[in-house]
Amino acid sequence: MALTVESLPQGPVQANTHIITDTVTGKIAVVDAGDCTAYLKERLQGRQVEYILLTHGHFDHILGVAALKELTDAEVCIHAADADCLSSEEKSLCSWECAGQQTPIVPDRLLHEGDVISLGESVLHVLHTPGHTKGGVCYADYENRILFTGDTLFCLTAGRTDFPGGSDEELLASLIRLRNLDGDFTVYTGHNRVTTLNQERMRNRYMRRIGQ
Ligand SMILES: [Zn+2]
Ligand SMILES: [Zn+2]
């Protein structure tokens, strides 16, 4: 069993879209879609896209979802607490930065802590990690040691907590939870570059501050 991950920055502030492929079946999930660029469409052409997995509901991660859904008919999944972002430019903060650009969409599946998503032979586990938003999630593949952290954990930093729904306490609890996962993971973040959980345990100023 294996997953391959291709990351491409897209959308108004270049949030990462991750194309995940289960290598056994060729089935695909797309994590976050701040846009649906010609390049993304080309990469997905003729391939079976099962899911659009959202890490949270901010506009920079969802503006491409409506177009991607139309293209692929994949199941749009978002945590229940962020679901209304998909129909509200106020909630997604789109109204702050790019009013009028969000096409409302109804999610197909509302996620909760502990949910499991099967992608061919691979399995992704939903970790509810609020703090940046109320409905922020990470997706963990324990078998292949891969973690998608959205705007919860970045390389050497962590997500902002000063937007509506943000909370320092919740973000800290979420970071503690990630730090305490067993073993190392490759960490695909919502912005900027890929990292590993071990590197963040050692060098990330938020994780270091948590103590033992
Ligand atoms: Zn965000
Ligand atoms: Zn973001």
pLDDT tier at 162, thresholds 50, 70, 90: very high
pLDDT digits (tens, 9 = 90+) for 180-207: 999 999 999 999 999 999 999 999 999 8
Instruction: Tell how far the Cα of 24 is from the centroid of ligand 1, in angstroms.
Output: 32
Summarised one tens digit per residue, pLDDT across range 20-68 is 999 999 999 999 999 999 999 999 999 999 999 999 999 999 999 999 9
- Domains of the chain, by residue range, sit at 3-210
DSSP letters, 164-200, are TT--HHHHHHHHHHHHTSSS--EEEESSS--EEHHHH
Ligand 1 center to 179 CA (angstroms): 20
Mean pLDDT of the residues in the chain: 96
Name the pLDDT band for 212 (thresholds 50, 70, 90): low
* pLDDT given for residue 97 in this prediction: 86
Q: Do 75 and 65 meet the contact criterion of CB atoms below 8 Å apart? A: no
Ligand closest to CA 91: 1
CA–CA gap between residue 122 and residue 88 (Å, rounded): 33
10 Å CB burial of residue 136 (0-12, 13-18, 19+) is: buried
Q: Say which residues have a Cβ less than 8 Å from residue 19's Cβ, sequence separation at least 6.
A: 5, 6, 7, 8, 28, 30, 40, 43, 44
Percent of the chain with pLDDT over 90: 96
pLDDT in tens, 97-115: 899 999 999 999 999 999 9
Tell me what pLDDT residue 209 has. 82
Residue 211 has pLDDT above 70, yes or no: no
User: Separation of 96 CA from ligand 1 center, angstroms?
Assistant: 13
Q: How far apart are CA 86 and CA 58, in angstroms?
A: 9
d(CA 51, ligand 2 centre) in Å:
19
Q: Which residues pair with 51 in a beta bridge?
A: 29, 75
CATH number of 3-210: 3.60.15.10
Residue 15 CA, ligand 2 centroid: distance in Å: 6
Ligand closest to the CA atom of residue 163: 1
Q: Average pLDDT for residues 139-168, to the nearest whole number? A: 97
**pTM for the predicted model, two decimal places:** 0.97
- How much distance in Å is there from the Cα of 151 to the middle of ligand 1? 5
Nearest CA-CA partner of 34 in 128, 151, 120: 151
User: How far apart (Å, rounded) are the C-alpha atoms in residues 15 and 22?
Assistant: 23
Checking if the pLDDT of 154 tops 70, the result is yes
Query: Which 8-state DSSP code applies to residue 64?
Result: T
